[in-house]
Structure 1
Amino acid sequence: MQPDLTLTIALIAGSGIVAQWLAWRLRWPSIVLMMGAGLLLGPIAGLALGAPVLDPQASFQQYLRPMIALAVAVILFEGGITLNFRELRDASAPVRRMVFLGFPLGWALTAVALHYVAGLAWDISFMIGALLTTTGPTVVLPLLRQAKLPPRIASVLKWEGIVNDPIGALCAVFMFEAIRQTALGHDWVAAAGFLTMGALIGGLMGFAFGLGLSQSFRRGLVPEPMKAPLVLAAVLVCFAAAEQLASETGLVAVAIFGLVVANSRLASIEEMRRFKEGIAAILVASVFVVLAADLSPDDLAALGPQHFAFIAIFMLIVRPLSVALATFKSGLDLKETTFIGVVGPRGVVAAAAAGHLAASLTAVGRVDAAILAPLVFMTIFISVFGCGFAVAPLAKVLGLSQDGPERLLIVGANPWSLGLADALKAHDIPVTIADIGWRRLRQARLNGHDVYYGEVLSETADWRLEPARFAALLAATHNDAYNALVCVEYAPELGRSRVFQLSGFDGKTEGNVTDEDPRAIVYTARGRTLIRKGRGYEGLARDWWQGWTFRATRLTESYTLEDCLAEPDSAGDIVLAQLPNGKLHLLGSGKPLPDTPGTLLIRFAPPEANA
């Protein structure tokens, strides 16, 4: 491989992942920084230096389009595998309205605006409209965490993105095939026939691959370590096979493939999703950098006033109007409808598909499709950038923001965990207590705590409990294995550093217990151990009944952590700390104690320490 091509590939992957990491650190939408990296290395560098630092077309030449097509196929499959129809059936009325009414309304209104404002042909308008009507979870979810929204609004925005993403992509692909057939000289009747045939071929191919893969997994024909890699290989084979049978049907096939796998009730579906998310993260980063870098200054200059006028109308009129019509009398009040109508950032699938479809249409003579990529990219950039900086202030203005300290999720209602929840509530730290026992939750309800009655490992909990609204999780049941399972399930959402469980052994009576203790469940299959020396459920419960209670201490400039620990009444176990900025720090083995003035320490202490 040539050194310059090696450097190009490394630059694409490196800049994309760095952009995603920076977005995570800055709490910005990653799509903005990924597109910014591509524009900076491509057209902006070309204007400033006379030649772009990254020129994908020159580097990859005829291999660029196939590479992007394969990456888009994996991204579309990853979108399809998140769509579970059982969850959609259980969703709230506003969610169903946004899917079944909001999408077609938004599609039609967007196409009308594209035709009459941007001056595009009707067929191109409907294809772009299908892409721009989708909001992706990769851009919506960071915004939801940033704004701290109520569960109902967060649920509508989240599920709209998850469900409409693959549907919008499929509609855009169908429109693309119709346009391509007419561009090749076929009339609309013939184009409809080709479109139907292509849809059937792609759909049957995707269904066959999905069914075959599901059956092979159920019958144990594939070993566990090979399942996720086999899925990736199957996606690529499915895409290529569909393309060989009928051109441009591969995207339909992989989307249907993902839908079939997602609804097959496979025991290993979560592992496959996480593997695909990791692969998709690299591919999304690479595709965005490549597509943005491939835009030339002439492409950006082709955007005229009419295109920016369309973007303004699309964001300020089309989106709010379609949301208002779709959710009318659905239970949302005016403030909630207004917020959902304003917050609609376009997503990853729209950008990835736009670059691929635009190149395919220009190749068959539709030169007016050249505006597709820059227009979609600019719409995405402005919508994500605008929503990213407006979502938190808008939520505050409308009175929807749940500002305040970070919320803790406690799994397991027992006297010790209820005592901890009471101590946190006394200092205005919000807590949600989850348990499968209605009677065990009785005292939590009487004490005014937010409760979740149900199994936290169920599919229902995924959308009713809304894990994204919690800063950390503490699994505090009597069952060490169940605690570990809960932590493993929620670690991908909250982060492994934010899921804690009680120790399987008690550090008070059996010596300090650490995350690497050979007696404990292996650390890769559990959460972090709560309390620095590790305390088990039985030991904590015994101490509780012997009169131990929770005590709060606040550090100051004159009263430091060292002073606190030096006092005679400092006996006990420090469970967690709340920093002055409201952030929660559950304290586990090997985790340093915070020493910032204003920090609140919650300690589980014996009776003599409270005398």
Structure 2
Amino acid sequence: MAVEQQAGELAPVMVFALVGALGVGAQWLAWRLRMPAIVLMLLAGLAVGPGLDLFDPARDIGPLMAPMVAIAVAIILFEGGLTLNLQSLRGAAEGVWRLVIIGAPLGWLGSTLALHYAAGLDWPVAAVFGGIMIVTGPTVIAPLLRQARLARRPAQLLQWEAIVNDPVGALAAVLAFEVVLVMAASETAGGAALSMAWGIVVALVLGLGAGWGLVRAFTAGHVPEFMKVPVLFAVLLGVFALSDTVLHESGLLTVTVMGVYMANTDLPSYAELRRFKEHATVLLVSGVFILLAASMNMEALALLDARAAVFVVVTILLVRPITVMVSLVGTKVAMNERLLVAFTGPRGVVLVAVAGLFGERLVALGFEDAARLTPLAFALVAATVVLHGFSLRPLGQLLGLAGQGVPGVIIVGGSQFSASLGKALSELEVPVLISDPNRTHLRTAREAGLRTFFGDILSEAAEHGVEIVNFGRVLAVTDNDAYNTLVATDLAPEFGRENVYQLRRAKEDNARHALPATLGGRKIGGELGYYEIARHMSQGWKVRATKLSDSYTLEDWQRDNPDAVPLAELAAGGGLSFVTRETEAKGGDGTRLVALGPPRDTAD
């Protein structure tokens, strides 16, 4: 017989719908408002939870809460391990290794001391939470870097530190928790050490074995493409549960090791698997954050006293700077770069999720002060995200490490047209990079003084040699329509589909050559393809920028230049937008219109 629903209690289906709507809605609204998504998720969870009392996870979903959070954290940590490609890390700066090898244990120690002496937590609880505090939030730092447009080395240091320390911090917290768990359950230190060692061995064997088995099965074709992701999820959940039966919470170590192993194999489906995992992680991260925020009650919020504020200040102004400055001693990293990295350490959802999971476990073991872990995690995340979200770019500009002006443009394909377009944009102080694997094609761009990259923009060399965070748009304008489509499709998840463009394909209006809407980028250049533009360039056409005003409007320019093709416009406020088939030039006072047009002496 079904249990009657109490007044004010939400049905489980309504709970899942509410969590999904709030989490995804908060992330979309944050994208529209250019704000850190985690701040809006925090506010949404607190509003429907302790604020309006519309949703209480303990009341509305009860025993489902703990396993849901545990599985979500396991998948999040697996995705974090899946980002740790050691081959790519070899090309990173020396400072990244220092921040991991020296910074991680030093940060663990400093965070533990701050938690004990500033926040007043017991040593076992402080050690567990101090481990996960190593993580600087890879899901938070990426949008901050793109918004701030920092110089390559400090951006690389911050980005790689976040990626590598994501699984490292999780492992530190898991190991610390295992020590506490085993010591609490064992009578002797020898028995505790033996149980701990056995759990770690089982976790490593299961993680490496599952990763090896999946890679072999995927590579040999034993699993069809459409089943690879479901099989991956099934194995992931299986080894997580199996490892947990041997030693509680060792499953987190297992799935992290599994992800790291799979990231460092030549798996053909790696990119597709990782991209899907990233999408799943976005949903899980938002869901877990909403659940944990809604679980906060007034009693838990009351635990955020003056000592909590002191802990946050000590962590931001002492622990993080000391960790970074000591780690980078003796490196070639300049002092202004060290200072920027030292005062930039935003924490993310992984911190809150793991803190909520371990906090509940520690309370069950008798550590009453572990109830403060989730409120402290929320306080630290909110403080660091808000602080760095609004201060990173001004601090970077103050230290001479932030890009100026509007986000740059990567033009893929060297030619007279790309050089002319790049020069016109550069004169408007828009950063431009022209890429081509043929050095000869870059000659015109180099002669024009433009920055070039000799190589394939989709290669690993470009990933480590191009300051991607300084660019916001990509134009694929090579003579190969298929390659243009490949570039636009591959870079769309990185830059956003609305920010990747390509030239019109030959015969694209023919149904036999039509492509799905999911492939390629937005079309620029009107109805002109590569060879039509090349013919115009050989006849003396050029890309020019014209300033519009109230006295010389867009209509006046169109009347004077009937054959010209608008390409982009830079608004008076500094916003750059490209003209596509779906959009038209808007003009306006102070707008600079960039267009391809015939020689001046032949223009009407």
Q: TM-score range by the shorter chain?
A: over 0.9
1:161 aligns with 2:153: no
1:29 aligns with 2:22: no
Corresponding letter in the other structure for 1:17: V
Contact map agreement 1:468 1:494 (CA 8 A) in 2: no
Contact map agreement 1:570 1:609 (CA 8 A) in 2: no
Shift of 1:491: 0.3
Q: Which digits, 9 at most, give the CA deviation of each residue in 1:350-401, with x for residues without a partner?
A: 1111111111111222223222221122111111121112212222222322
1:233 aligns to what? 234
Corresponding letter in the other structure for 2:548: L
Partner residue of 2:576 out of 575, 580, 584: 584
1:58 aligns to what? 59
* Unmatched tracts of structure 2, length 5 or more: none
Shift of 1:445: 2.9
Partner residue of 2:51 out of 44, 51, 55: 44
Q: TM-score, normalised by structure 1?
A: 0.94
| Distance in 2 of aligned mates of 1:592 and 1:272 | 38
Corresponding letter in the other structure for 2:481: D
For residues 432-511 of structure 1, the aligned pairs below 5 Å read: 432-505=433-506
| Distance in 1 of aligned mates of 2:526 and 2:238 | 50
Query: Over the residues paired in the alignment, what is the CA RMSD in angstroms?
Result: 1.9
1:523 aligns with 2:517: yes
Corresponding letter in the other structure for 1:169: A
| Distance in 2 of aligned mates of 1:472 and 1:227 | 32
Contact map agreement 1:184 1:364 (CA 8 A) in 2: no
4+ residue stretches of structure 1 with deviation over 6 A? none
1:10 aligns to what? 17
| Distance in 1 of aligned mates of 2:328 and 2:562 | 56
Shift of 1:121: 2.4
Corresponding letter in the other structure for 1:524: T
SS at match of 1:323: helix
Contact map agreement 1:124 1:369 (CA 8 A) in 2: yes
| Distance in 1 of aligned mates of 2:258 and 2:467 | 27
For residues 303-314 of structure 1, the aligned pairs below 5 Å read: 303-314=304-315
| Distance in 1 of aligned mates of 2:88 and 2:409 | 25
1:544 aligns to what? 537
Contact map agreement 1:27 1:142 (CA 8 A) in 2: no
Contact map agreement 1:137 1:347 (CA 8 A) in 2: yes
Q: Which digits, 9 at most, give the CA deviation of each residue in 1:145-195, with x for residues without a partner?
A: 221211111111111101101110011011111111222244333222222
1:249 aligns with 2:241: no
Q: Which digits, 9 at most, give the CA deviation of each residue in 1:486-538, with x for residues without a partner?
A: 11111001111111112222xxxx8xx67x976344432222222232x2222
SS at match of 1:174: helix
1:146 aligns with 2:138: no
| Distance in 2 of aligned mates of 1:217 and 1:451 | 38
Distance 1:188 1:125, change over 3 A: farther
| Distance in 2 of aligned mates of 1:168 and 1:192 | 21
| Distance in 2 of aligned mates of 1:325 and 1:439 | 46
Contact map agreement 2:125 2:362 (CA 8 A) in 1: no
Corresponding letter in the other structure for 1:239: F
| Distance in 2 of aligned mates of 1:182 and 1:160 | 32
2:383 aligns to what? 382
| Distance in 1 of aligned mates of 2:424 and 2:304 | 58
Calculate percent identity across the aligned residue pairs.
40
Q: Which moved more, 1:359-368 or 1:156-165?
A: 359-368
2:72 aligns to what? 71
Distance 1:304 1:202, change over 3 A: same
1:532 aligns to what? 526
Corresponding letter in the other structure for 2:38: I
Contact map agreement 2:149 2:469 (CA 8 A) in 1: no
| Distance in 2 of aligned mates of 1:498 and 1:60 | 41
2:564 aligns to what? 572
Corresponding letter in the other structure for 1:537: Y
Corresponding letter in the other structure for 2:325: A
Distance 1:517 1:30, change over 3 A: farther
| Distance in 2 of aligned mates of 1:543 and 1:158 | 43
Corresponding letter in the other structure for 1:565: Q
For residues 174-253 of structure 1, the aligned pairs below 5 Å read: 174-253=175-254
Distance 1:129 1:460, change over 3 A: farther
Q: Which digits, 9 at most, give the CA deviation of each residue in 1:454-494, with x for residues without a partner?
A: 22111232233243321110111111111111111110011
Q: Which digits, 9 at most, give the CA deviation of each residue in 1:547-578, with x for residues without a partner?
A: 111122222223322222223x3312212222
SS at match of 2:513: coil
Corresponding letter in the other structure for 2:312: I
Contact map agreement 1:441 1:451 (CA 8 A) in 2: yes
Contact map agreement 1:87 1:460 (CA 8 A) in 2: no
1:605 aligns with 2:597: yes
**Total equivalences in the alignment:** 596
Q: Which moved more, 1:188-197 or 1:27-36?
A: 188-197
Shift of 1:326: 0.9
| Distance in 1 of aligned mates of 2:80 and 2:305 | 33
Contact map agreement 1:467 1:494 (CA 8 A) in 2: no
| Distance in 2 of aligned mates of 1:336 and 1:610 | 51
Corresponding letter in the other structure for 2:545: A
2:548 aligns to what? 555
Contact map agreement 2:91 2:464 (CA 8 A) in 1: no
Contact map agreement 1:202 1:250 (CA 8 A) in 2: yes
| Distance in 1 of aligned mates of 2:383 and 2:70 | 25
SS at match of 1:21: helix
Contact map agreement 2:415 2:444 (CA 8 A) in 1: no
SS at match of 1:523: coil
SS at match of 1:440: helix
| Distance in 1 of aligned mates of 2:17 and 2:602 | 58
Shift of 1:610: 4.9
| Distance in 2 of aligned mates of 1:473 and 1:517 | 27
SS at match of 1:229: helix
Corresponding letter in the other structure for 1:546: Q
| Distance in 2 of aligned mates of 1:187 and 1:394 | 52
2:415 aligns to what? 414
Distance 1:198 1:610, change over 3 A: farther
Shift of 1:422: 1.4
Q: Which moved more, 1:155-164 or 1:389-398?
A: 389-398
Distance 1:158 1:77, change over 3 A: same
Contact map agreement 2:403 2:470 (CA 8 A) in 1: no
Q: Which digits, 9 at most, give the CA deviation of each residue in 1:385-421, with x for residues without a partner?
A: 2111221222222232212122100111122211111
1:363 aligns to what? 364
Q: Which digits, 9 at most, give the CA deviation of each residue in 1:6-54, with x for residues without a partner?
A: 2221111111111111111122111111112111111222xxxxxx111
Contact map agreement 2:288 2:353 (CA 8 A) in 1: yes
| Distance in 2 of aligned mates of 1:520 and 1:544 | 28
Q: TM-score, normalised by structure 2?
A: 0.95
SS at match of 1:32: helix
SS at match of 2:434: strand
1:48 aligns to what? none
Q: Which moved more, 1:455-464 or 1:496-505?
A: 455-464
| Distance in 1 of aligned mates of 2:566 and 2:602 | 13
For residues 289-368 of structure 1, the aligned pairs below 5 Å read: 289-368=290-369
SS at match of 2:366: coil
Shift of 1:56: 0.4
SS at match of 2:249: coil
Q: Which moved more, 1:184-193 or 1:393-402?
A: 184-193
Distance 1:609 1:406, change over 3 A: farther
| Distance in 2 of aligned mates of 1:254 and 1:285 | 20
